[in-house]
Amino acid sequence: MNIDNDDINELLDKYLIGKNVLEERLTKLIDNFVKEHGYNPVEHFKSRIKCKDSIIKKLVNKNLDITIDNIVTNIKDVIGFRLVCSFLTDVYDIVNLISSKLNVNIIEKKDFIAKPKDSGYSSYHLIVLVPIEYKGKKDYVKAEIQIRTVAQDFWASLNHKIQYKYEDLVPENIKKEMYEYSLIVNQLDKRMVSLKNEVNGCK
C-alpha cells in the first residue's frame, strides 16, 4: 500500500516542529543546569528525523500496513535525540532532570544500563510526547531520547557499523567478542565514576 505523499509530508512537518521544540527545551535545560552547578554533564547531543524510506521500512519490518495512523501509533522514534554524557552518574542526573523539568509527557522509560540488551547494548531510552502548535491547533508528536555515556556511545557506534556490514547476520564469534567488549565498557564506566568521586573528595 502506497502512502499519500502530501499526508506524510504534513506529518513530517509536525515532527520537524516537534524536534525544534525539543531541541530548544533540552538546550535551555542543560544551560540552566550548567549555570546552577558550574558543570556540564553532557558532552554533546544530536538529533535527527527519520526519512520517509526508513519509516516505511520500519513499518514493513513490524508487519504493519503503511498508513499515517500506524506511523503515529507504532513508530516511536521518528524524532530521535542522543545525549552523550561524561559519566554514568550524569546519565541518571539527566534522566531525572528531563523527568522533572523538561515539560514533556514521558510515556515510556527503558533502562538498558541496569539491564543491557542481549547484545551488550547499554543506554537509557525515554519516549516522550512533545507539545506543538500546527496550523493554529495544539498537537503532540512522539520522540525518543537516548542518554548514554561516551564509552557506551563508542561501543554502540562500532556495533552498529558491524551490524550494517553484515546486514544484521553477524557471525556468532563476532557477537560474542562485542558482548565481551560491552562488559569492559561497563567496568570502565564504573571505574570512571569511582575516579570522579575520588577527585571530588579531594577538593
End residue of a domain, out of 150, 171, 188:
150
Residues 98 and 134 in one domain: yes
Residues counted in the chain: 203
Answer whether residue 203 shows pLDDT above 80: no
Residues 34 and 77 in one domain: yes
Q: Tell me if residue 68 falls in helix, strand or coil.
A: helix
Answer whether residue 91 shows pLDDT above 90: yes
Answer whether residue 1 shows pLDDT above 80: no
Residue range 38-83, pLDDT digits in tens: 999 999 999 999 999 999 999 999 999 999 999 999 999 999 999 9
Going by pLDDT thresholds of 50, 70 and 90, the confidence category of residue 165 is confident
Q: Which domain holds residue 179?
A: 156-198
Per-residue pLDDT, averaged over 163-174, amounts to 83
Measure the CA–CA gap between 145 and 143, rounded to whole angstroms: 7
Residue 164 is predicted with a pLDDT of 80
In a domain, 167, yes or no: yes
Least confident segment among 2-11, 99-108, 175-184? 2-11
Residues 130 and 193 in one domain: no
Residues 112 and 164 in one domain: no
47: left (phi over 0), alpha (psi -120 to 50) or beta: beta
In a domain, 95, yes or no: yes
Select from 196, 102, 190 the least CA-distant residue to 149: 190
Residue 144 is predicted with a pLDDT of 98
Residues 138 and 186 in one domain: no
Residues 140 and 160 in one domain: no
**DSSP, res 148:** E
Residues 55 and 85 in one domain: yes
> Residue 91 is placed in which grid cell?
546519565
Going by pLDDT thresholds of 50, 70 and 90, the confidence category of residue 5 is confident
> Residue 116 is placed in which grid cell?
543491557
Residue 198 is predicted with a pLDDT of 86
Residues 141 and 166 in one domain: no
Per-residue pLDDT, averaged over 1-19, amounts to 88
Residues 53 and 39 in one domain: yes
* CATH code of residue 171: 1.10.287
How many distinct structural domains can be found in the chain? 2
* CATH code of residue 10: 3.30.460.10
Residues 99 and 130 in one domain: yes
In a domain, 203, yes or no: no
Going by pLDDT thresholds of 50, 70 and 90, the confidence category of residue 190 is very high
Residues 80 and 116 in one domain: yes
Q: Tell me the pTM.
A: 0.92
Residues 138 and 171 in one domain: no
Per-residue pLDDT, averaged over 16-23, amounts to 97
